[in-house]
Amino acid sequence: MKNDKDRYWDCLDQAMEASHGGRIEEALAWLEEALKAHPEGAEAHNGRGEILWDEARIDESLYEFERAVDADPKFSAAHLNRIELLVEELGEFELALEGCDALLAGRSELPRLDRPFQAEVYYLKAKALFYLDDLRGAAFLIRRAIKSVGEQPTYSAFEGHVLFEMGSYKDARRVLERAAAADPDSPNIVYSLGLIMERLAHEGGEESQAENIEAAQRAAGLAFSRANAIDPMQFPVPVTVSDEFFREAVSEALDNLPRSIRDYIADVPVIVEDFPAFDLVAHERVSPQILGIFIGVPRTEASVTDRVPDLDRIILFKRNLEKICRDRDELIEQIQITVRHEIGHYLGLDENDLDRLGLA
């Protein structure tokens, strides 16, 4: 008769085989059997966490990762899974940073900081900082990850994306082209290169010659099509409409507002531009992928500022809106959502107010 230790590892093997075969319930059942043999088995708890995460059972997944860490504080995979889940699914960025800093402190009871593990922690900390809008901190840490283990497509792709968000388009292009050479079939890398080529074309490319601009535009279009071919669900081919069609959709969105709001915003221009200006991206930390923005003083603050009200304006970014939509109907809907949202910011409303008034 097998002892509990042998039974535990046999159940883990069976669970892994079932999971790889797509037999999720069977895999979970085997992991339950493993935990009966060894209730504090960190590997079994971590395995359950990974499967539950794939099944979008996020809270249960976090519980399993935390059980795994408690059972074996040196189990590096459970630490990394827990932190990544906090960042990617729960938006608990500060808690994720605490976890990263604890691991980087190198305490004896925690996993040993070999180079691959250290690089992963730097990467996850960089992602948490990115979501907290600390782009420079994120860029610094992802470079430390690359320094630890050399260039890897995942790290380089993230560095390129951070540089893109900072408005450093040429640097982002160089980084992402290296990442694409190492992993040419990554839709994320291909799509990010398309974003960069699109912006270089809009900004005039590396030179202002028309042929360079046209070449960058063609490269962007090819990149978006290729990303769509690899992963059509995540990367739709941008819908393209005329300026006239877009402006008519904006007018319709304004006409659909309640009359009281239309009257209140009558003097606020709604402007259409292709992309956010470079100064907004580089100096005001506005994402180059933002759909719209209100610039000015919210009405709730207007009485306590000397700013000239005539400077208030709402800007919609046509090319960014087109990129997230699969057809014209979806684009019209997204224009309406964005118009309502930015008007809400002009009115000084928070997200709960926007939901309550139907402006979200």
User: What pLDDT sits at residue 17?
Assistant: 96
User: What pLDDT sits at residue 300?
Assistant: 72
Q: Is 90 exceeded by the pLDDT of residue 310?
A: no
User: What pLDDT sits at residue 210?
Assistant: 57
Name the token pair of 255: 């006409």
- What number is the average pLDDT over the span 150-170? 95
Contact 346, 312 (CB under 8 A): yes
Task: Tokens 């994320």: give the residue.
Answer: 188
Q: Is 60 exceeded by the pLDDT of residue 208?
A: no
Using DSSP, state whether 292 is helix, strand or coil: strand
Q: In what order do the strands lie in the sheet with 270-273?
A: 270-273, 313-317, 292-295
User: What pLDDT sits at residue 303?
Assistant: 58
Q: Is 80 exceeded by the pLDDT of residue 150?
A: yes
**Domains of the chain, start order:** 151-235 (1.25.40.10), 243-356 (3.30.2010.20)
Instruction: Please report which confidence band the pLDDT of residue 203 belongs to, taking 50, 70 and 90 as the band edges.
Output: confident
Instruction: Please report which confidence band the pLDDT of residue 232 belongs to, taking 50, 70 and 90 as the band edges.
Output: very high
Average model confidence (pLDDT) across the chain: 91
Q: Is 90 exceeded by the pLDDT of residue 44?
A: yes
- What number is the average pLDDT over the span 346-350? 80
- What number is the average pLDDT over the span 297-319? 74
Instruction: Please report which confidence band the pLDDT of residue 1 belongs to, taking 50, 70 and 90 as the band edges.
Output: very low
- Span 51-66, pLDDT tens digits: 999 999 999 999 999 9
Contacts of 169 (CB under 8 A, 6+ apart): 163, 196, 199, 200, 203
| Closest among 21, 22, 41 to 31, alpha carbons compared | 41
- Span 55-110, pLDDT tens digits: 999 999 999 999 999 999 999 999 999 999 999 999 999 999 999 999 999 899 99
Q: Which of 161-170, 233-242, 340-349 has the lowest mean pLDDT?
A: 340-349
- What number is the average pLDDT over the span 38-55? 96
The alpha helices in the chain, defined as continuous H runs, are 4-20, 24-37, 42-54, 58-71, 76-88, 93-104, 115-131, 135-149, 153-166, 169-182, 187-203, 210-230, 243-255, 259-264, 278-284, 318-323, 328-346, 351-356
User: What pLDDT sits at residue 251?
Assistant: 95
Q: Is 60 exceeded by the pLDDT of residue 28?
A: yes
Q: Is 60 exceeded by the pLDDT of residue 206?
A: no
Q: Is 50 exceeded by the pLDDT of residue 215?
A: yes
User: What pLDDT sits at residue 352?
Assistant: 76
Task: Tokens 């960089």: give the residue.
Answer: 126
Q: How far apart are CA 173 and CA 157, in angstroms?
A: 10
User: What pLDDT sits at residue 142?
Assistant: 98
Q: Is 60 exceeded by the pLDDT of residue 306?
A: no
User: What pLDDT sits at residue 283?
Assistant: 87
Q: Is 60 exceeded by the pLDDT of residue 30?
A: yes
Q: Helices 4-20 and 42-54 sit at what angle, rounded to 10 degrees?
A: 20
Q: Which of 31-40, 214-223, 275-284, 303-312 has the lowest mean pLDDT?
A: 303-312
Instruction: Please report which confidence band the pLDDT of residue 359 belongs to, taking 50, 70 and 90 as the band edges.
Output: low
Stated pTM of the model? 0.88
User: What pLDDT sits at residue 212?
Assistant: 66
Pick the residue with more confidence: 207 or 332?
Answer: 332
